Structure 1
Amino acid sequence: MKKYLETDVLIVGRGMVGATTAIALARAGFNSIIIDQVKPSDQNIKTYDGRASAIASASKKMLEQLDIWNRLGKNYTPIFDIRVSDQSSKHFLHYERHVLDSKPLGFMVENRHFRYAVNKELESLEPITSISNVKIETIQRNNEGVFAALTNQQTIKASLIVGADGRRSQVRADASIALTRFDYKQTGIVLTVEHEHDHNNIAHEHFYSGGPFAILPMKNESGKNIRSSIVWIDKTEQILKILKLPDKQFNSILNQKFGDFLGRIIVVSSKWTYPLSFQFADKCIDERLVLVGDASHGLHPIAGQGFNMGLRDVAALVEVITNNARLGLDIGGFATLREYETWRRFDNTSMLFFTDTLNRLFSNNILPLKVIRQLGLSITNNLGPLKKYLMLYAMGEVGELPKLLKGQSL
């Protein structure tokens, strides 16, 4: 009689990145067990997560290839244009889809809709075993494999453990992987508003000295373009003061930030708050262990790239595992994992420091930096090749892309 459950890969964390990892592995022919402290039904509750994610075009290709996108139905909104402005300048930056043959620049998806879609697809795949409402008690890793003892008295044996368990990753901590982290002293408020006029699928990002204010296009339950997700970032002390205000005063400040270009607005959701920090694991692999998504890197939401970077991790990891398995190599061996780390390290480092620099450049009133950003917005907006490159970069179409991000099967 077996003393443990056996699988190819143990995934810790059934969030959006972890669940996508399990599906991608299943499509590539691998078995996996995915565990989480939270039940999937609890993740689908509207109040669980009020955020919406910007899905880059390359990420959409991957999600289509994995049959996750089809599960969304009509629960997404394309972004046709992006308008970026600075409160202290007349200069602006306008990303227009006609520059790229009128393709959408990205897609907005509410996290609750994505969780529902990815969980539905996950549950339909036989190679995946899901265990909820459990934690890991101990993890042992050696030449024979990974042995993880759970709080439900089960033990899992796998060739590889994937830490997809977020910024406070237990898998990372258990492996004693050091973390570079600092607090931005900023907090984001996330909420949803409805407005009188059609947003025409245009996203707006206004930069203020305390942080960016983003208006992201969404649809209401009737499919009309009169709803937007707001990401309102400011210094933490200022956000705490704003949250204590009566609704009437809060809405007044919100209206001032939003403007009247879409007519009257009303708040139609709860308010969620998220403290912001930079964090980067000193390495994303260890013996029979790999980190993906926020467990490996947590970046500022200023460019809306956090989830996309997690998907890029998954696409690279599954491709590396698949290629090495075909050569008869150990999928949890050092050579396999080193290949993954080499592929992802530069991209993750670049995006982390790009978003960090962008936030520091725009979130202040220092005169030399104000001049630099005004010139930067003007030059970028008028220099076609540079603007096109930045658009493709944001869409995830630049660099050495894994097959899944090209819409190709493994």
Structure 2
Amino acid sequence: MEFDTDIAIVGGGLNGPALGLALAQIGLRVTIIDRLQTQVRETPGFDGRSYALALTSTRLLDGIGVWDAVADHAQPMLEIKVTDGRAGEGPSPFFMHFDHAEIEEGPMGHMVEDRHLRSALMQAVATTDGITVLDGETVTTQTVDASGVTLSLANGKSVRAKLLVGADGRGSGTATRAGIKRIGWGYGQTALVCAIAHEKPHDGVAHQFFMPPGPLAILPLTENRSSIVWSETAENAARINALPDDAYLDVLRPRFGDFLGEISLAGARYTYPLSLSLAHSMVAPRVALLGDAAHGVHPIAGQGLNAGMRDVAALAEVIADARRRGQDIGSPTVLDQYQLWRRFDNTALALATDSFNRLFSNDNPLIRIARDMGMAAINAIPGARRGFIREAAGLTGDLPRLMRGERL
């Protein structure tokens, strides 16, 4: 049976297009199917959304030809300061401080606004031979046979591919149709997300302030702006989000502090409930999952997108190597190799973020003393500090070639 494409990717957010670009560069035909229209995904102005990209994720973007279009809009993260305390009381004297100067590779990562990263990926996809984009289309069924997978679309058309990749988020229809179940739980927390402008320069320093209701991340953007990811109990978050902008800032200020001077909103406000979601498997016959479709974690370490980018780099490498060997790129042998590579790391990340959130999102005085002393001990040991810095930069573990700055 003839194939319309080599790889069908369901999901046109960030991970799906990144994988499509990597695979098109090695000569594979890729079809990206997304239920949203392109114009719906495009945001001409700053809307407050941004991402913390680890150093290895920027290497991946460079390898697929996207980083040059993003670099001028990216803010390097030069330091990370981690503190503990209560709103209005200031941070504990015990802390962790990570400086990029302690490693040789450069900044630990960059903050990039969604509008710049998304548009750069979409423009690259639109100008790359071998990639077809089906916007505003929904997959209704997927049928797997010995040699490929056939997707039926809501418009009555079909797409036949050798491999189907689900990059369609936590509620992945690809996973559901493949019979892949999920495990997970909610945290009773909601993230309040916005961007702020401030009087004083941030000097490229990212802050993570742990409070009993949940962590507050202050992440540096270009100019005198920072991205805020502020976790509260679901009840408090609903009340805060319902406030007008001035009152919203009045609630934020005692949590934020005055170290950057006066603050004001610099974009839209968002909320999303926080939960853990892990697919039982990252693969099924002729199907692979990546990003949030495979693992959705707490944003406490800002590693959700970076984990998805690792999936992209690993899957692209496994497929590229299989193609060179003349293997069927959708065979169980190839997909099992991908799962073996990524499953443990993703599960470990999920458990680590879950544990950190439970450890820090409480006000037990004994636990507070223990965690403060733990942070002070880590901060006092250079080797431990460098280990955390390398982890934040994404430099640990078995790195795919694209994340080592090498070609597929």
- Structure 1 counterpart of 2:89: none
Cα distance in structure 2, aligned partners of 1:263 and 1:248? 16
Counterpart AA for 1:388: R
- 1:103 is displaced (CA, Å) by 1.8
Gaps of 5+ in 2: 87-91
How far apart in 2 are the matches of 1:174 and 1:277? 22
- The Cα of 1:144 is off from its aligned counterpart by 2.4
1:110-130 CA-partner distances (Å, limit 9, x unpaired): 112111000011111111000
SS in 2 for 1:370: helix
In 2, the alpha carbon distance for the partners of 1:203 and 1:291 equals 31
Find out whether 1:124 has 2:124 as its counterpart.
no
Q: Which moved more, 1:364-373 or 1:132-141?
A: 364-373
Matches within 5 A, 1:343-362: 343-362=341-360
- Spell out, residue by residue over 1:247-273, the C-alpha distance to the aligned partner (whole angstroms, 9 max, x if none): 332221111111111111111212111
Indicate if the aligned counterparts of 1:85 and 1:92 stay in contact, CA closer than 8 A: yes
2:28 aligned residue: 30
Do the aligned residues in 2 keep the contact of 1:193 with 1:228 (CA within 8 Å)? yes
* C-alpha separation in 1, matches of 2:247 and 2:30: 50
> Which AA in structure 1 matches 2:288?
V
Corresponding position of 1:381: 379
Q: In the comparison of the two structures, how many residue pairs are matched?
A: 403
Q: Give the CA deviation at 1:101.
A: 3.8
Return the TM-score normalized by structure 2. 0.96
Select 1:19's aligned residue among 17, 25, 46. Answer: 17
Distance in 2, matches of 1:286 and 1:332, equals 10
Q: 1:264 to 1:394 in 2, by over 3 A?
A: same
One-letter identity of the residue aligned with 2:29: N
Q: How many Å separate the matches in 2 of 1:47 and 1:201?
A: 23
Partners of 2:47 and 2:267 within 8 A in 1: no
1:231-254, CA deviations, whole angstroms, 9 ceiling, x for partnerless residues?
Answer: 111111011111223433222111
The aligned amino acid for 1:45 is T
Q: Is 2:34–2:134's contact at 8 Å kept on the other side of the alignment?
A: yes
Give structure 1 stretches of 5+ with no counterpart: 220-224
CA drift of 1:150 comes to 0.7
Partner of residue 403, structure 2: 405
* Residues 238-249 of structure 1: pairs in structure 2 closer than 5 A: 238-249=236-247
Q: Which amino acid aligns with 2:368?
A: K
1:161 to 160, 164, 188: 164
CA RMSD across the alignment? 1.5
Match of 2:388 in 1: 390
1:102 Cα shift?
7.7
Deviations 1:92-150 (A, max 9, x none): 11111221148211100011211100001111111100000010111100102100011
Q: Distance in 2 between matches of 1:254 and 1:407?
A: 40
Tell me by how many angstroms 1:51 deviates. 2.1
Q: Which residue of 1 aligns with 2:303?
A: 305
Change (3 A) 1:49 1:319: farther
Tell me if the contact between 1:148 and 1:157 (Cα under 8 Å) persists in the aligned partners. yes
Which whole-Å CA distance do the structure 1 matches of 2:379 and 2:42 have between them?
40
1:105 and 2:105 correspond: no
Q: Distance in 2 between matches of 1:201 and 1:352?
A: 27
Distance, in Å, in 1 between the alignment partners of 2:48 and 2:246 is 21
Per-residue deviation, residues 140-190 of structure 1 (Å, max 9, x unmatched): 001021000111222111000000000110000111211001011110111
Task: Name the structure 2 match of 1:222.
Answer: none
Say whether residues 1:79 and 2:77 are aligned partners.
yes
CA contact (8 A) 1:44 1:113 kept: no
Task: Indicate the residue corresponding to 1:193 in structure 2.
Answer: 196
Q: Please give the secondary structure, in 1, of the residue aligned with 2:72.
A: coil
Q: Distance in 2 between matches of 1:287 and 1:311?
A: 22
Partner of 1:324: 322
Give the conservation status (yes or no) of the 8 Å contact 1:71–1:118.
Answer: no
* In 2: Cα distance, 1:305 partner to 1:144 partner: 35
> Contact 1:71–1:121 (CA<8 Å) still a contact in 2?
no
Q: What corresponds to 1:286 in structure 2?
A: 284
SS where residue 74 of structure 1 aligns? helix
Whether contact under 8 Å (2:3, 2:162) holds in the other structure is no
Contact 2:311 2:342 in 1 (8 A): yes
Distance 1:304 1:226, change over 3 A: same
Determine the C-alpha separation between the residues in 2 that align with 1:24 and 1:102: 23
Q: Percent identity of the aligned residues? A: 38
CA distance in 2, matches of 1:346, 1:375: 29
SS of 2:320 mapped into structure 1: helix
> Would the alpha carbon gap of residues 161 and 322 (structure 1) be closer, same or farther in structure 2, given more than 3 Å must change?
same
- What letter corresponds to residue 122 of structure 2 in structure 1? N
The answer to whether the 8 Å contact 1:86/1:92 transfers is yes
- CA change 1:403–1:259 in 2 (3 A) is same
Report what 1:370 is aligned to.
Answer: 368
Alignment pair present for 1:269 and 2:289: no
Q: How far apart in 1 are the matches of 2:46 and 2:265?
A: 18
